[in-house]
Amino acid sequence: MPAFGAAFPTRLTAGRFQLLRAGLRIVLWASWSLAIMSGDDSEKCQCRFCVLHRELMSIASMFGHAADQQRYRFRFNIVQILFLQLAVRNILHPTMAIRKNFDSVPTTARLQAIAATLESLRKRAKREFQRSEGLAAYDELHVVWRDYLDSLRQKLSGRLPWFLREPKVLGTPRFGTLVIDGLIRSVTPKLQELFSELPDQAKLRSITRLFLRYIRRGRIKLWIRDCVRTPDDVAPQLAAFIHKRM
């Protein structure tokens, strides 16, 4: 994990300071919960999650020790700026910013002003980080940041990671699928007599659907119930229908 580059100075008004602190609360809760569940020592562990978690704790420490004054002066690196941007998106919709909408734009003028300031600061930090660490290091940081947000999203949504989830149980096939499958099983021996090589399955199913459509429209003198109950009796007509269109 590369260093996070230089820290850039910024000043926050008391109002902006309180808004950002409120927006970070749910992020702090989710990150702390995951850190505790992992059982690792977040102060010493060098895994990607703990490294970012420590940056979040650094912001919380700075905010916690800030004096009660009209202007708050801080220095933030690129990761801390990303956390503050997440806090801005998190103010109006606490779970939406992390769980789904990573790039939502604040709608109120006050939040738009904070977002514009942080975005300008992020671009400065990005340029400096790419200059000092290289483009490859920035790409790696981007991937690590997205993985961290994904872990927070799983925590807030209550869903397990994809590799721990039970496989989905397929439901009962639709009636039309069952009818087509039955007809194809019945017509396969006839097709083996007509063709040296069986037609492609996708093409075969397409023509079988067309055959059923002709029955519904009255163009073929059969009933759908015949295809369901006695598909072997329908097989000769279906085989001729397929042979004609192949």
Per-residue model confidence (pLDDT) at position 101:
44
Backbone φ, ψ for residue 92 (5° rounding): -80, -40
Question: The tokens 């009209």 sit on which residue?
Answer: 70
Per-residue model confidence (pLDDT) at position 107:
57
**β-bridge pairing 71-76 and 8-13:** antiparallel
Per-residue model confidence (pLDDT) at position 211:
92
Residues of the chain with pLDDT under 70: 1-3, 40-42, 67-71, 90-108, 156-173
The pairs formed by 45-52 with CB atoms below 8 angstroms and a separation of 24 or more are: 46/1, 48/1, 48/144, 48/147, 48/148, 49/147, 49/148, 49/151, 51/1, 51/144, 52/79, 52/144, 52/145, 52/148
Q: How far is CA 131 from the centre of its chain?
A: 31
Per-residue model confidence (pLDDT) at position 97:
44
Question: The tokens 């801080």 sit on which residue?
Answer: 74
Per-residue model confidence (pLDDT) at position 24:
82
pLDDT digits (tens, 9 = 90+) for 96-113: 544 444 445 555 677 778
